[in-house]
Amino acid sequence: MAEELTPETPENETEEPIKQRKNGLYPGVSDELAESMRSHWADTELHGLEPVAQAAETAARRAALSARFPGDRLVIPSGNLKVRSNDTEYPFRASVEYAYLTGNQTEDGVLVLEPTADGHTATIYLLPRSDRETGEFWLDGQGELWVGRRHSLAEATELYGIPASDVRELADALRGATGPVRVVRGHDAGIEAALTDKVTAERDEELRVFLSEARLVKDDFEIGELQKAVDSTVRGFEDVVKVLDKAEATSERYIEGTFFLRARVEGNDVGYGSICAAGPHACTLHWVRNDGPVRSGDLLLLDAGVETHTYYTADVTRTLPISGTYTELQRKVYDAVYDAQEAGIAAVKPGAKFRDFHDAAQRVLAERLVEWGLVEGPVERVLELGLQRRWTLHGTGHMLGMDVHDCAAARVEAYVDGTLEPGMVLTVEPGLYFQADDLSVPEEYRGVGVRIEDDILVTEDGNRNLSAGLPRRSADVEAWMASLKG
């Protein structure tokens, strides 16, 4: 990548970072060059743009938000770029709240809902196109010459169905505003600083909680996007199976890189760091270092999800025999987890409690652990004391959406202690994990970890497995792997 302009300037003039040189020309630039850069640029304004695909849904979401907080000014920032090191930044991802309400994903954007007599007026505040007259176009680090063309405010208005305004004027406007204000915190320190004497943590939290609970039930657009995410993820898993020999010759990184290629080509990114856990790494729940060896005879636990361009992510896990065939013990553990998952999926239906599918899956796992003599029964005692948890380790699932662990700010009564409704999408992902140093189990179990995870939509009469495109039964997994390796 290129560095920003570093012309010959006196030492004492180089201290101000070029990114702050919004006005006036850089000292090392001749008047002739400056004049040249001002002119002879084509008018590239776009007209008659089609609104983004989810424009009707984002409008409905803003209407629901407006109805919940009448009379309050609501401020929802997209967030700012974060420095990775020196002058490089992490890839930007807009805040979920902002993207959910606007469909826009631009850094430094802010959605403001201004209270009116009968609701709110929405405005989306964005950085406009670069001014060619002042030189910001090519001399400023945020200039379009460096970061690419932005949409003009008029274009943004058409695309998102929300009037757009210059974000550089927003902080001052907010400082001068009167009346109650709520802001989604944690995304834009500059906007929050402009509101410090107007907001309270409690009231802002109510806004955050509302926007988290609003996402519990997905609309048709969101369900379509989640299906796209899952479909890309299925292809990513197929990609991985096809290159297992190359992973054996290198490391788990080959698997991570292979899946990432699919995610970047078909979607926005991976929705979370891929867990590419071969052998005993499967027992480390969030194994994302992915720097270990891949050995025939071991299992590969692959937990990965493609995130779509609209930020919806899949979250799927398969535990595959690297050789193509499970050993007897691997199959025994795998089939137990499969049975637990089947029991869990069967418990996902409208009117069921969110906890039901977890309880159903845990019961099956406890039964097997008792049957195998790993823990003393009866099963009721094991469940009551939670003894199975030494090997089941985690909850059996979570809501899925624009965050992999979606709706995390929802109240306990709306989510964990809540009731399933049509339109909710959640994972069912039981597992069994025998740590490599677990002396409480026979040696043959040690280092074996299995999880099976699918993405389940609650329907009017039960559920639909969005990730049914990937086989789950042990024999079906083997046949599928054989067909891909050809």
Considering only the stretches 10-18, 313-321, 340-348, 349-357, report the one whose residues sit in contact with Mn ion under the rule CB under 5 A: 313-321
317 touches 305 (CB < 8 A): no
> If binding means CB under 5 A, how many residues of this protein chain bind Mn ion?
2
Cα gap 142→121, rounded to integer Å: 29
Q: Is 422 within 8 Å of 332 (Cβ atoms)?
A: no
User: Strands, DSSP E only, in 49-208?
Assistant: 73-77, 83-85, 88-89, 110-116, 119-126, 164-166, 181-183
Please say whether the beta carbons of 160 and 124 come within 8 A. yes
Contact segment (CB under 5 A) with Mn ion among 270-278, 280-288, 308-316, 472-480 equals 308-316
Shortest Å, Cβ 269 to Mn ion: 17
Question: In angstroms, what is the minimal distance from the CB of 461 to Mn ion?
Answer: 25
- Among the residue ranges 148-156, 164-172, 309-317, 444-452, the one whose residues contact Mn ion (CB under 5 A): 309-317
Q: How distant is the alpha carbon of residue 88 from its chain centre?
A: 22
Residue closer to Mn ion by CB (options 76, 452) is 452
β-bridge mates for residue 453, sequence order: 317
Q: Which is nearer to Mn ion, 307 or 315 (CB)?
A: 315
> At its nearest, how many Å lie between Mn ion and the CB of residue 103?
26
| 206 contacts 287 by C-beta, under 8 angstroms | no
Q: Which of 103, 271 has the CB closer to Mn ion?
A: 271
Q: Which of 72, 225, 252, 315 binds Mn ion (CB under 5 A)?
A: 315
Q: How far is the CB of 262 from Mn ion (least distance, A)?
A: 19
Q: Which two tokens stand for residue 261?
A: 């290629």
What is the DSSP code string of 445-464?
A: GTTEEEE-BEEEEEETTEEE
Q: Which of 427, 435, 467, 474 binds Mn ion (CB under 5 A)?
A: 427
Residue 268 within binding range of Mn ion, rule CB under 5 A: no
Which CB, 271 or 447, lies closer to Mn ion?
271
Nearest distance in Å: CB 463, Mn ion? 16
Stretch that binds Mn ion, among 54-62, 121-129, 207-215, 420-428 (CB under 5 A): 420-428
The distance of closest approach from Cβ of residue 427 to Mn ion in the complex, given in angstroms and rounded to an integer, is: 4
Taking the complex as a whole, how short is the minimal distance between the CB of residue 394 and Mn ion, in angstroms?
9
In terms of CB distance, is 212 or 427 closer to Mn ion?
Answer: 427
The closest alpha carbon to 443, from 301, 329, 293, 283, belongs to 329
Closest approach of Cβ 21 to Mn ion, in Å? Answer: 46
The three-class DSSP label of residue 426 is strand
Distance CA 90, CA 107 (A): 12
Between 204 and 307, whose beta carbon lies closer to Mn ion?
307
Strand ranges for 28-103 from DSSP E: 73-77, 83-85, 88-89
* Residue 7 burial (10 A CB sphere; 0-12, 13-18, 19+): exposed
Kindly report the length of the chain.
486
Nearer to Mn ion, 298 or 315 (CB): 315
Among the listed ranges 54-62, 116-124, 208-216, 426-434, the one in contact with Mn ion (CB under 5 A) is 426-434
Q: How far apart are CA 436 and CA 352, in angstroms?
A: 37
- Residue 227 or 427: the one with the smaller Cβ distance to Mn ion is 427
Instruction: Note the residues at the interface with Mn ion (CB under 5 A).
Output: 315, 427
